[in-house]
Amino acid sequence: MPRLTKKFKREWGFFIHSKTGYVTHNKKCSNCIHNGCKQSYRVKIIACPHYEKR
């Protein structure tokens, strides 16, 4: 796997997990097919229109 660039780390810093170093999404968002609205693993409460429809 290629190393993450400094620019990528700055842009995605909220999503990068400190222990693994990978981009990590919320548990409810990880299985969602809508890529544009995925939220960080650090988010406690989700406000997602796709999740509310289920």
**d(C-alpha 28, C-alpha 39), whole Å:** 9
Do 25 and 39 contact (CB within 8 A), yes or no?
A: yes
Quote the pLDDT of residue 46.
63
21, 13 Cβ separation under 8 angstroms: no
Looking at per-residue confidence, does 33 or 5 come out higher?
Answer: 5
Closest by CA to 50, choosing from 24, 30, 32, 31, is 32
Looking at every residue in the chain, the average pLDDT score rounds to 76
